[in-house]
Structure 1
């Protein structure tokens, strides 16, 4: 039986983003209005990163992120071969994609994006500077706790499909496009590892979109083979994570949308994709949203293989309302029952008795056989700069609730 990587994810973890401080928020508004420059934000971003790092360390979180305090800088804005299109018409976005449908209904007629006009090549790092900046504000013994959140390889393709993502004179197929993209990602991951990074999270709503029945119907009407496309996206992810060092942990966070004010884009349980997802995607941990009924039930967890971890996002970041501790504990036991009855089966008593680690905070591990379940917020507290309708105090309260629940269940 294959074993689970234990180092990381940390027993104390979170998804990544935190609400921006007012000074940075105000500057970001000015930037959007063209009243300041990108460089004007840097001092406020640096101060915000230091603040959120201290917040995470004071709370006792095992992993450390920059809270997504910097203006979004991903992969496609830095890749050679990609052309930025600031006003691409919405007619060139696939209408069946959940967020495209919603944004179009809101009246958007164009949106910024990228187009692959040449051979993809990593000419500059994507996240290396972010890692170095974090490394500079944590003690040396905490460098291995730093987590880098990455834009997924599917980001552009899921919006534009095989016909509008790349120039057919450059790439003749999705396989060719994702082959070169995988080379670029692996080079980035290699450099991050050499600098000391041991924890990477791909933030990808694409897989959850395949749980959405409206999208599936729209793809079928458009003549798109959604099962084949799902396989293509699994392969694209695996090209990026292939051949990584044994002590480098990679997680996949599947988001249903965390737009302005906490708006979601998609819904549907994991039943449609669970077998392929849990058994074919080459990552160590799945961060799963389970904060409300649109996420479905825990039954797909029966397909979780022995060498994977699942993080149950059972606390919402979309509302300041604090969850009930007893209800959270009941959900943890419900999920444990499902995994314990999976393959290989374990009794509930055996599952709960096979705990081998003490509980620290936030992501809590149930160890039975080689399975591991964890708990966390369902998403970041501010996936876009405008943030969710929560304050910093709300964030702390929700994290402290998770600590309380963890101690009551496992200690």
Structure 2
């Protein structure tokens, strides 16, 4: 495991990844859903839309750039569906989904009898890229000196395992245990990251709703009733990412966004402070940066930050993407200084200057984790990103934001 920061922190003002689809692309996606056009009809509109959201990020002063995940239907698309050994199951019985998982509980409550998913029925191999084409296109739109600021987001390796558990995720004649499954999955992720790195990518972000699920009292009690060892499973999911990040280049930043749910209309799925998982997550997960959702009271207070080691960075998701209400600069500054004070009293104690250097600010999640997006307009999106930049300039006046 790395004992020092692999590269500089993210810029002080960040956004998590996904952005609203511009009007033309949104309408074409609607047409595709209605079977009024083909998937190939979307590509030219995606290309133009990516140019549009790139300019939006540049205009407001956001330095870490993404393509807004505009080519995806869901945030997790493009990984498991491209791996050899994985098969798409359009109508899997709901009984194979774990009812204690927060978003699965919604499915049970809605009376669903089946749901689409991915199942592992063979040895996992990466035979084609996940996001190389997407990275290459975005790279072609920026000056060579800005390529290192491109961030690629991808779903966590635990994404399908958490909904099906150790008994229903993979064919037990192919993998006998979770470690073997995640070892092969981790190898596939490493190969993807190595290719992206060779092309100039220097920031990989794992989007992971699973970790915050372990903050949910409802899930923990449900797992205990089902006889599932939640502490061991948390260790398994930490190891799954560590298998991927082992041996990474020193100048590659790896971050994890711990999401609480961001479904259609901005629906969330899990509640509970980070205290239950902070010690393990901050000290044993081999990543450089943690994107933490802190836009509502359901995330708890900043007290868990006292466990953040000196060589890690916390990005505070203080600006919500779930509604158009605009936060204020003064409000954000007060919360950053409150978080810094907690860090100062952590173990080990640190100066305010050191504490502030370990913090950044961001939106709490993306604006469109699914293609339909959240109930905000592009103008709302622009105002919120501009607010982050202005706040960062006031808190860290001597830095590039």
TM-score by length of 2: 0.95
Query: What displacement does 1:253 show?
Result: 0.2
Look up the match of 2:144. 140
CA 1:277 to 1:244, structure 2 compared with 1: closer, same or farther past 3 Å? Answer: same
Q: Does 1:190 align with 2:194?
A: yes
RMSD in angstroms over aligned alpha carbons? 1.5
Q: Does 1:54 align with 2:58?
A: no
Q: Partners in 1 of 2:167 and 2:35 — Cα distance?
A: 34
Query: What displacement does 1:26 show?
Result: 1.4
Q: Does 1:408 align with 2:394?
A: yes
Look up the match of 1:129. 133
Q: Partners in 1 of 2:3 and 2:84 — Cα distance?
A: 38
Q: Partners in 1 of 2:114 and 2:206 — Cα distance?
A: 26
Q: Does 1:306 align with 2:310?
A: yes
Query: What displacement does 1:137 show?
Result: 1.3
Contact 1:318 1:388 in 2 (8 A): yes
Look up the match of 2:163. 159
Q: Partners in 2 of 1:8 and 1:84 — Cα distance?
A: 37
Query: What displacement does 1:12 show?
Result: 4.0
In terms of mean alpha carbon deviation, does 318-327 or 265-274 score higher? 318-327
Query: What displacement does 1:389 show?
Result: 0.6
Paired residues in the alignment total 393
Query: What displacement does 1:410 show?
Result: 3.3
Contact 2:62 2:385 in 1 (8 A): no
Q: Partners in 1 of 2:342 and 2:258 — Cα distance?
A: 20
1:142-291 maps to which residues of 2 (within 5 A)? 142-291=146-295
Q: Partners in 2 of 1:297 and 1:21 — Cα distance?
A: 35
Q: Partners in 1 of 2:118 and 2:78 — Cα distance?
A: 12
What's the secondary structure of 1:144's corresponding residue? helix
Query: What displacement does 1:3 show?
Result: 4.2
Look up the match of 1:64. 65
Look up the match of 2:110. 106
Query: What displacement does 1:409 show?
Result: 2.8
In terms of mean alpha carbon deviation, does 213-222 or 51-60 score higher? 51-60
Q: Partners in 1 of 2:186 and 2:392 — Cα distance?
A: 38
1:128-180 deviation per Cα after TM superposition (whole angstroms, max 9, x unaligned): 11111111111211111111001110011001001100001100000110010
What's the secondary structure of 1:77's corresponding residue? helix
Q: Partners in 1 of 2:107 and 2:62 — Cα distance?
A: 35
Q: 1:398 aligns with which of 379, 384, 390?
A: 384
Look up the match of 1:377. 363
Query: What displacement does 1:2 show?
Result: 5.2
Contact 1:291 1:378 in 2 (8 A): yes
Contact 1:213 1:268 in 2 (8 A): yes
Structure 1: unaligned runs, 5 residues or longer: 355-364
Q: Partners in 1 of 2:51 and 2:105 — Cα distance?
A: 38
Query: What displacement does 1:212 show?
Result: 0.4
Q: Partners in 2 of 1:122 and 1:407 — Cα distance?
A: 42
Contact 1:53 1:64 in 2 (8 A): yes
Query: What displacement does 1:104 show?
Result: 2.8
Q: 1:76 aligns with which of 76, 80, 83?
A: 80
Q: Partners in 2 of 1:403 and 1:53 — Cα distance?
A: 16
Query: What displacement does 1:89 show?
Result: 2.1
1:251-286 deviation per Cα after TM superposition (whole angstroms, max 9, x unaligned): 000000001110001111000000000000000000
What's the secondary structure of 2:82's corresponding residue? coil
Look up the match of 1:362. none
Query: What displacement does 1:17 show?
Result: 0.8
Look up the match of 1:15. 16
Structure 2: unaligned runs, 5 residues or longer: none
Q: Partners in 2 of 1:270 and 1:153 — Cα distance?
A: 21
